[in-house]
Amino acid sequence: MATYRLDDNKFNVTPTPLHDGLGLIIASATESATHPVSLTPLADGKARLHLGSTMHIVAVAEDGDDLLVQLDGEVIRLHRFTAFEAAGGGDAGKDSVIAPMPGTVISVTTQPGDQVTKNDPLMVIESMKLQTTIGAPRDGTIDAVCFAANDTFDKGAALITLVPLPTDDEETA
């Protein structure tokens, strides 16, 4: 079993082998519900994903401890908790929006100093002829936009950096 994070939610994932792929039992770390999922590899890094009775064709890639799933034009980053993180360490990645794949910036919808809310659109990128909107990973203030429209970038490049919003205690100090 491994624990993954999607946004601020934790899920326990238990793999189970199937005759044509991989079965997963996904359980919320805070609820008792479980969700059976099957993933069947296809050609070119794609896979057939069954979520209950719904089927999707997805692209799947590993990026260190993260699993990237491209579903319906959106890249979903599932982060696998390391032993260090499970013990309470590590959260610096939330300050940078990292490119999930190499590509080109199509448009930028924010600038330094803008306050954003979690999931606000920050930019649109294109990779392999597919456009993906990159959203804010959390509430914060844009510190830097590292690429402009038509710039190309590599996988793992910091696209945008954020700084936390001041807390009530910091504002009154």
Span 56-72, pLDDT tens digits: 888 877 777 777 788 87
Per the structure, the complete domain to which residue 38 belongs is given by 2-86
- Whether residues 9 and 80 share a domain: the answer is yes
The reported pTM is 0.50
Last residue of a domain, one of 86, 105, 120: 86
Please count the structural domains in the chain.
Answer: 2
- Whether residues 103 and 149 share a domain: the answer is yes
Mean pLDDT, the chain, rounded, equals 77
139 three-state secondary structure: coil
- State pLDDT tens for residues 83-138: 555 554 454 445 788 887 889 999 999 999 999 998 899 999 998 888 888 888 88
- Whether residues 128 and 70 share a domain: the answer is no
Q: What is the CATH number of the domain that holds 145?
A: 2.40.50.100
- Whether residues 77 and 110 share a domain: the answer is no
Q: Whole-angstrom Cα distance, residue 29 to residue 3?
A: 8
- Whether residues 27 and 10 share a domain: the answer is yes
- Whether residues 163 and 126 share a domain: the answer is yes
- Whether residues 100 and 58 share a domain: the answer is no
- Whether residues 62 and 132 share a domain: the answer is no
In this structure, what token pair is assigned to residue 106? 């199509």
**DSSP string covering 69-112, please?**
EEETTEEEEEEEPPHHHHTT---GGGGEEE-SS-EEEEEE---T
Q: What is the CATH number of the domain that holds 25?
A: 3.30.700.30
Within a 10 A sphere around the Cβ of 100, how many other Cβ atoms? 22
- Whether residues 68 and 28 share a domain: the answer is yes
Q: For residue 30, how many C-alpha atoms fall within 13 Å in the half-sphere facing its CB?
A: 4
- Whether residues 78 and 119 share a domain: the answer is no
- Judge whether residue 151 has pLDDT over 90: yes
Kindly state the DSSP code that residue 93 receives in the 8-state scheme: G
